[in-house]
Amino acid sequence: MTTQTTAPKTPSAPTAGTAKGLIGIPAPLGRALATGGGVLTIVATFLAWTWTSAFPGDLTVYGYPGGLQILVLIGGALVTLLGLASYGVTPLAWLAPAGADAALKFATLATFATTWYTIIAISAQLGGVVNLEPGAYLAAAVTLAAFLGALALPFERPAPDPFDPDDTGWERFEHTTSQKWQTVKAAFSADSPRPVRTLPAWADILIIVAALAVALTVFTYGIGTEYDELFVGFLIIAGFGFTALHRSGLIIQISQITARHQSVTVFGAFLAAALFPFTQTDDQYATIGVYILIFATVALGLNIVVGLAGLLDLGYVAFLGVGAYAASLVSGSPSSPFDVHFPFWAAVLVGAAASLVFGVLIGAPTLRLRGDYLAIVTLGFGEIFRITANNLDGTSGPDLTNGSNGIAGIPDLEILGFDFGTQHDIAGFTIGRFANYFFLMLLITAVVVLVFRRSGDSRIGRAWVAIREDETAALAMGINGFRVKLIAFAVGASLAGLAGTVQAHVTYTVTPEQYLFAGTTPPNSAFLLAAVVLGGMGTIGGPLLGAALLFLIPNKLQFLGDYQLLAFGLALVLLMRFRPEGLIPNRRRQLEFHEEAEAPTVLGKTGA
């Protein structure tokens, strides 16, 4: 019996004469158009795009890009670098270890879309294309040419190496990961006769530092966009640019490096986040930062329930409200019926303990349900909490929560003489109120991350995953499903209550309307669940990134008015269509959603 196999092809080695692009332009000409278009795009950003400074960003200056021109400049630079990498320029091989052609398509699309969006916005706002200067016309032409040239490049995917169909799922994952890494190494060594060696640890750490610095810069730029048009352009260039780098293999390579140094990556990520308030001149954007951390911390707690244990909880925001109300009642508010003022550590324990108790009380009778039935019950709990808090006003019920007026006048925190409500000077920087709470929430987020990592890697964490994958099989193997799910519910609820204690002091007021199932702004149960699913279920970075995006984007898209949720919903649909496993996927879920890409391919027939 014989089996015919073919050698795997590296991504940078096209199949001559077989692959074609979407249009009839020859591939060499298309590559030249794309690369040349990227260079001319850079030149066009240094020219004036309009004659009047009425359009935000002042695009009238020659020799100095501003506003949206800067985003187009970044896109043009990325197109140029990927275009040169597609020619096999050795110093740029690191940018496209998996091949540059597919990445070049998305990079040119990002630049084209951002440029034409800017031109359309100028024409619509100023009253026609007559307001455009030669730089805008040049940019429109060269980005269109670059995009068409990229479409002429062939669509090729390397043939996967065959593997034994009887391998276990983990063996298949190891095989797939090994082949991807071999592809990356082959791309680096294509033009060098020397064997490829793994980078030393110090080089890996430098790459991690550079990646975190870029991430901090991108986040700071996105959160600090001064006008609506700039933020929309930022979304376009960031979305397609990230896709381009992912297709080039650079994101995968950096992910492998961070996986080898997880502790360094986590520490560096929190250090980079701690630098964020120092990049702000006032509390305007530090305010958004602290709310993002609150939202992200609650989403990470929900990730234990949904991502690890597989329990669909649609009323999770109620646990945030329980913690916030419990802390506000004992923190010295004049609206509280209890004349007590606990220190911060005691208020934190009260908020987390109250949420823990409610998690056990709600979970004990309901966690014997599964699937949609559990989702309906938890949804009902969320609504019952909000309605109950609204009725405890002394008229419809006991005077406990002050009804719809909520608990107001919650004082600022003071820890060891440090007043979080006043400004402080640190190393020559003035840190305001919201920056103080940002550092506090960052510390709480670190605690939640530690709890998530330790619990996920523990015996109980493995039991959660077993319940999520197949509860019947897990029960047959001796796992106490009810106890395991109740622990997940209780831990997730206590983490939400922990974040609620800080939210109560940040917002000064706790009202029932803050804890809806769905609304135009987070936090609410729908947005929390979307943050977990979009970011990546079962991961640490996924919910953090998903929560940041889901809080920042609605906050910046308020100019759309009634169409805000429509645009946001379309974006979610597209993301779920093209990346259903999430932005930072769990390895197991990534294989599940792309099983067809990892399935063994029969390359020949066997015969006697």
Output the pLDDT for position 580: 76
pLDDT tens digits along 169-194 = 334 444 444 454 454 444 444 444 44
Cα separation of 93 and 107, whole Å?
A: 16
Q: What is the 3-state secondary structure (H, E, C) of 437-458?
A: HHHHHHHHHHHHHHHHHHHHHC
The residue-averaged pLDDT of 350-372 equals: 85
Residue 119 above 90 pLDDT?
yes
- Please state, rounded to an integer, the average pLDDT across all residues of the chain: 79
Q: How far apart are CA 567 and CA 546, in angstroms?
A: 17
For every residue of 517-533, which 3-state class applies, written as one string?
CCCCCCCCHHHHHHHHH
Lowest mean pLDDT among 132-141, 188-197, 549-558: 188-197
Torsions phi, psi for 470 (to 5 deg): -160, 100
Say yes or no to pLDDT of 557 above 80.
Answer: no
Could you read off the pLDDT of 69-78 as tens digits, one per residue?
A: 999 999 999 9
Tens of pLDDT, residue by residue over 281-334, are 667 777 888 888 888 888 888 888 888 888 888 888 888 889 888 888 888 888
DSSP single-letter state for residue 306: I
Domains along the chain? Answer: 10-274 (no CATH), 283-583 (1.10.3470)
Q: What is the pLDDT of residues 212-230, one digit of tens each?
A: 888 888 888 888 888 888 9
In whole angstroms, give the CA distance from residue 189 to residue 340: 69
pLDDT at 39: 94
- The pLDDT-based confidence of 95 (bands split at 50, 70, 90) is confident
The string of pLDDT tens digits covering residues 227-279 is 888 988 998 999 899 989 988 888 888 888 888 888 888 888 888 888 888 87
Produce one character per residue of 242-272: b if its CB has 16 or more CB atoms within 10 Å, e if not.
ebbbbbbbbbbbbeebbeebeebbbebbbeb
Mean pLDDT of 401-430: 77
